[in-house]
A and B are shown apart, each in its own frame.
Chain A
Amino acid sequence: MSIRQGFLALLSEQPMHGYQLRQEFERRTGSAWPLNIGQAYTTLARLQRDGLVEPVDGAEDSPEQFRLTGAGIAQAKVWWSTAVGRERPGRDELAIKLALAVTVPGVDVAAVVRRQRDETLRALRALTKQKRDLDPATDLAHSLVLESQVFAAEAEVRWLDHVEASVAAYGSARTHTAGTADTETAGPARTAGGNNRPSTPTGAPTKEMTR
């Protein structure tokens, strides 16, 4: 996970103790993912258990410092040389919500999209406000972390626009509800102009429900 890998990356610079690691991790990532000191020590303990870090002999009254073992150095290098996997993204509540919104009868999909876009734009503005006071020339790491969130919010707005346009073009998928045998062949909906359009099963005011 990122904290574990982050600690290995930091320790590849120089030996550090737990408090220092936590401080450096937060400072460099712009405090986007605050750590409590307990998490820092738990992570260190696991890295030590796995043989990736080891204590450095030092003065008795100073906090225990850790350095990478040979295996730790190797793993720190592997992190830089491999891409972060995208094969199995985490469960995305918004994608699930929209998928259900177009299938559950009686949901005003347009309103769901609109509310979400307002919220995402609000978040985007809040992030931009933080960015505005930041000079990327002097605080690049913090800028990049903020921008990762800015671009993600922008992508979400674009996707929501696409959802809105798709629902307008294809209607919704409400014929496929649980327990309902779908005897018709599912296919791409025809756009306006098709004859003999059946009425929508739910009576919902979808524009292009043409199955």
Chain B
Amino acid sequence: MSVPLEMKGITRTHGHGVGEVHALRGIDLTVREGELVAVMGPSGSGKSSLLNIAGGLDSPTSGSVRVAGRDVARLGARDRAAVRRRDVGFVFQDLNLVPALTAVENVALPLELDGVRPGAARADAEAALADVGLPEVADRFPEDLSGGQQQCVAIARALVGRRRLVLADEPTGALDSVTGESVIRLLRARVDAGAAGLLVTHDARYAAWADRTVHLRDGLVAGTDGGLGTDLDELQGVDA
């Protein structure tokens, strides 16, 4: 089976000439199934750039990004959008859900956009909500959910249907510490069940839930450390 995310030699440069900014300067990163990788680093170190490129929201200046085996950097806008719908799910700090849709409709949305019939999409969405332990909120609107529940619904949407790769950008940033931890526990559980996760966070105590943490500095990998159950000697997939 193909690797959910494989990035090689990624660079990203903004602007030209004197105003040129090198957001990423040669990053290799692989996330396998059942693996949660955390990305840490100071503001401006390239964390969000990396995540946006991993998910096809932005294109690298050079390098290759393979999502489920397909090189998204070489795809046109239309095909890249299809990869985003089918293979990748995003969870942001907040405002993840469409306010006018119920929880189950939010989760079913990427499937319906991809042409899945409404009945089948709803069944998959209900299954995804059950996987995150929230089957009872299916018909509630986002404004009737707590911040933590909204993030869990966003994780359900990120992993609905055949999607296996969840890209989370500070998913706990707007939550209190108890709720934040429950969201990280859920993310960890979904990854343990076979998904792949890339988690950008400022909090070392959340990064400690990952299998390894990649430390970015000035667009480069400054170091990598092992996490839960990972021996430093066994680290693979990231080369500084």
Chain A residue numbers with a CB within 8 Å of B208 are: 121, 124-125, 127-128, 150
CB of A157 closer than 8 Å to a CB of B = yes
Chain A residue numbers with a CB within 8 Å of B213 are: 121
Chain B residue numbers with a CB within 8 Å of A132 are: 185, 188, 209, 228
Chain A residue numbers with a CB within 8 Å of B227 are: 125, 128
Chain B residue numbers with a CB within 8 Å of A158 are: 204
With both chains docked as a complex, state the minimum distance between the C-beta of A150 and any C-beta of chain B, in angstroms: 5
B205–A129 CB distance below 8 A: no
CB of B226 closer than 8 Å to a CB of A = yes
Beta-carbon nearest neighbor of B212 in chain A: A125
Could you give, for residues 102-123 of chain A, a 1 whenever the CB lies within 8 Å of some chain B CB and a 0 otherwise? 0000000000001000100110
Could you give, for residues 196-229 of chain B, a 1 whenever the CB lies within 8 Å of some chain A CB and a 0 otherwise? 0000000111001100010000000001011111
Does more than half of chain A's interface fall in helix, strand or loop, or is it mixed?
helix
With both chains docked as a complex, state the minimum distance between the C-beta of B50 and any C-beta of chain A, in angstroms: 19
With both chains docked as a complex, state the minimum distance between the C-beta of A207 and any C-beta of chain B, in angstroms: 14
A125–B228 CB distance below 8 A: yes
CB proximity to A under 8 Å, residues B172-213: 185, 188, 203-205, 208-209, 213
With both chains docked as a complex, state the minimum distance between the C-beta of B122 and any C-beta of chain A, in angstroms: 31
CA distance A150 to B184 in the complex (A): 15
Chain B residue numbers with a CB within 8 Å of A165 are: 42
**Given contact pairs A121-B213, A132-B188, A161-B42, A150 touches B228 in the complex (Cβ within 8 A):** no
With both chains docked as a complex, state the minimum distance between the C-beta of A200 and any C-beta of chain B, in angstroms: 24
CB proximity to B under 8 Å, residues A170-187: none
Chain A residue numbers with a CB within 8 Å of B226 are: 125
Cβ-defined partner of A121 (8 Å) among B203, B209, B225: B225
B203–A128 CB distance below 8 A: no
Beta-carbon nearest neighbor of B184 in chain A: A128
CA distance A128 to B110 in the complex (A): 34
Chain A residue numbers with a CB within 8 Å of B188 are: 132
A128–B209 CB distance below 8 A: yes
Chain A residue numbers with a CB within 8 Å of B203 are: 154
Cβ-defined partner of A124 (8 Å) among B42, B185, B204, B229: B204
CA distance A158 to B209 in the complex (A): 17
Chain A residue numbers with a CB within 8 Å of B42 are: 161, 165
A129–B204 CB distance below 8 A: no
Beta-carbon nearest neighbor of A132 in chain B: B228
CB of A153 closer than 8 Å to a CB of B = yes
Pick the most buried of B42, B205, B208: most chain A CB atoms within 10 A of its CB.
B208
CA distance A124 to B226 in the complex (A): 11
B205–A150 CB distance below 8 A: yes
A122–B225 CB distance below 8 A: yes
With both chains docked as a complex, state the minimum distance between the C-beta of A145 and any C-beta of chain B, in angstroms: 15
With both chains docked as a complex, state the minimum distance between the C-beta of B27 and any C-beta of chain A, in angstroms: 20
Pick the most buried of B42, B204, B209: most chain A CB atoms within 10 A of its CB.
B204
Chain A residue numbers with a CB within 8 Å of B209 are: 128, 132
Chain B residue numbers with a CB within 8 Å of A79 are: none
Beta-carbon nearest neighbor of B232 in chain A: A122
With both chains docked as a complex, state the minimum distance between the C-beta of B32 and any C-beta of chain A, in angstroms: 19
With both chains docked as a complex, state the minimum distance between the C-beta of A121 and any C-beta of chain B, in angstroms: 6
CA distance A128 to B181 in the complex (A): 11
A157–B228 CB distance below 8 A: no
17 contacts between A and B (CB under 8 A): A121-B213, A121-B225, A122-B225, A124-B208, A125-B208, A125-B225, A125-B226, A125-B227, A125-B228, A128-B205, A128-B228, A150-B208, A151-B205, A154-B203, A154-B204, A157-B204, A158-B204
Q: Which residue numbers of B lie inside 8 Å of A, CB to CB?
A: 42, 185, 188, 203-205, 208-209, 213, 223, 225-229
Q: Which residue numbers of A lie inside 8 Å of B, CB to CB?
A: 114, 118, 121-122, 124-125, 127-129, 132, 150-151, 153-154, 157-158, 161, 165
